[in-house]
């Protein structure tokens, strides 16, 4: 099938594109190559994709409505996998306008293009951040998420509401995926696996927030891709045809245990610098994945030790050949 994949030079985007191409789908990848983090890394991901048959790339800023419409006219997509976004909780404190443009204006343009071109299914990235400081664990899709504690989380909750409206008014089949801390090879350099690994290898201290009293539901990239593509292949059929699903490992791990596993995988101990909790952060994340399992017959389950071992092998070959 023809898939329009936005954010194709991103971490999850690249891996999803590779899997789609491997199974024979045609992928038009779109990305604006934002300088939020290393453009060189994004270009290297793109080179992995451009070596594959069936892939085309367009450099597009979806916040430009005309450019977004032209992209849809060129792609004529049967499915849309929208992973383009401005990520990061902490950066939303520094540069809020980038979140408004990339996560709200661009998403509105994408929804309008979907209304006009009527793909069979839109799958878009939401985030576990929408749960805010909810004390009830694990987090379920039926929980109240009306109290975000970062602008990033607010934009992702807004995406879910906007997609619901277009499903209700225009019958657009749409699925939002609340990803929980996805990690693995080719990961984002602003996230802890890459930040920690680089610091450990180079002998620099790592910042351990909330003095290590945190737990995270880490999701290995291959599991995130499997869940994403299974959802993409199975549009919702309800009224309206819209749903949100958690994509997490359902196995929260203590921050200090996670660091110990990464140390073991890299073969070197970390220097730890204990820090207070950061604004907009939460002490624990924990995904209830029963709805995902029921919808597509799959839920992530890769143990963190196994995933970090694969990540560390890639990291050592990529950054320190």
Same structural domain, 117 and 243: yes
Residue 73 in domain? yes
Residue 154 in domain? yes
- At 137-181, the pLDDT tens digits run 999 999 999 999 999 999 999 999 999 999 999 999 999 999 999
Same structural domain, 32 and 169: yes
Same structural domain, 206 and 229: no
Residue among 37, 91, 99, 152 flagged as catalytic: 152
Residue 123 in domain? yes
Residue 289, both tokens: 């994945």
Q: What are phi and psi of 166, to 5 degrees?
A: -70, -30
Same structural domain, 259 and 197: yes
Same structural domain, 266 and 133: no
- Read off the CATH number of the domain in which 197 is found: 3.90.25.10
Same structural domain, 243 and 271: no
Residue 19 in domain? yes
Torsion of the alpha carbons at 86, 292, 109 and 182, rounded to the nearest 10? 20
Same structural domain, 150 and 63: yes
To the query of whether residue 36 is one of the catalytic residues in this protein, the response is no
Residue 186 in domain? no
Confidence of residue 320 (pLDDT cuts 50, 70, 90): low
Total domains present in the chain:
2
Same structural domain, 27 and 72: yes
Three-state secondary structure readout of the chain: CEEEEECCCCHHHHHHHHHHHHCCCEEEEEECCCCCCCHHHHHHHHHHHHCCCCEEEEECCCCCHHHHHHHHHHHCCCEEEECCCCCCCCHHHHCHHHHHHHHHHHHHHHHHHHHHHCCCEEEEEEEHHHHCCCCCCCECCCCCCCCCCCHHHHHHHHHHHHHHHHHHHHCCCEEEEEECCEECCCCCCCCHHHHHHHHHHHCCEEEEHHHHCCEECCEEHHHHHHHHHHHHHCCCCCCCCEEEEEECCCCCEEHHHHHHHHHHHHCCCCEEEECCCCCCCCCECCECCHHHHHHHCCCCCCCHHHHHHHHHHHHHHHHCC
Residue 27 in domain? yes
Q: Measured between alpha carbons, how far is 247 from 179 in angstroms, rounded to an integer?
A: 5
Same structural domain, 101 and 40: yes
CB 214 within 8 A of CB 255: yes
CB 150 within 8 A of CB 100: no
Same structural domain, 243 and 255: no
Residue 233 in domain? yes
- At 303-317, the pLDDT tens digits run 999 999 999 999 999
Confidence of residue 223 (pLDDT cuts 50, 70, 90): very high
Name the residue with higher pLDDT: 201 or 280: 201
Residue 187 in domain? no
Range of the domain at 311: 192-215+251-285+302-319
- Least confident among 61-65, 210-214, 298-302: 210-214
**Burial group, residue 231, by CB count within 10 angstroms (0-12, 13-18, 19+):** buried
pLDDT > 90? residue 232: yes
Same structural domain, 205 and 167: no
Total-model pTM = 0.96
Same structural domain, 174 and 255: no
Q: Measured between alpha carbons, how far is 206 from 32 in angstroms, rounded to an integer?
A: 31
């Amino acid at each position: 099938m023809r898939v329009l994949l936005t954010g194709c030079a991103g971490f999850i985007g690249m891996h999803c594109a590779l899997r789609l191409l491997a199974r024979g789908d045609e992928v038009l990848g779109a990305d604006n190559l934002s300088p939020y983090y290393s453009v060189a890394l994004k270009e290297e991901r793109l080179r992995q994709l451009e070596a594959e048959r069936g892939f085309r790339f367009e450099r597009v800023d979806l916040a430009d409505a005309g450019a977004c419409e032209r992209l849809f006219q060129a792609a004529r997509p049967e499915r849309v996998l929208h992973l383009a976004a401005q990520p990061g909780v902490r950066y939303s404190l520094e540069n809020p306008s980038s979140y408004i443009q990339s996560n709200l204006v661009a998403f509105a343009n994408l929804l309008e293009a979907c209304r006009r071109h009527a793909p069979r299914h839109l799958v878009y990235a939401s985030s576990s951040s929408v749960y805010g400081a909810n004390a009830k664990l694990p987090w379920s899709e039926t929980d109240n998420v009306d109290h975000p504690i970062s602008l990033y989380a607010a934009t992702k909750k807004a995406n879910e509401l906007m997609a619901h409206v277009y499903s209700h008014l225009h019958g657009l089949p749409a699925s939002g995926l609340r990803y929980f801390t996805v990690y693995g090879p080719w990961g984002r350099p602003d996230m802890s696996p890459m930040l920690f690994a680089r610091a450990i290898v180079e002998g620099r201290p790592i910042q351990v927030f909330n003095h290590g009293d945190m737990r995270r539901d880490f999701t290995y990239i291959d599991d995130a891709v499997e869940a994403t593509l299974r959802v993409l292949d199975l549009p919702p059929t309800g009224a309206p045809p819209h749903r949100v699903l958690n994509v997490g490992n359902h196995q929260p791990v203590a921050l200090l245990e996670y660091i110990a596993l990464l140390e073991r995988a890299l073969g070197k101990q970390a220097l730890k610098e204990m820090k207070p909790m950061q604004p907009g952060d939460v002490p624990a994340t924990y995904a209830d994945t029963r709805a995902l399992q029921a919808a597509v017959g799959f839920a992530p389950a890769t143990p963190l030790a196994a995933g970090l071992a694969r990540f560390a092998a890639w990291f050592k070959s990529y950054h320190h050949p």
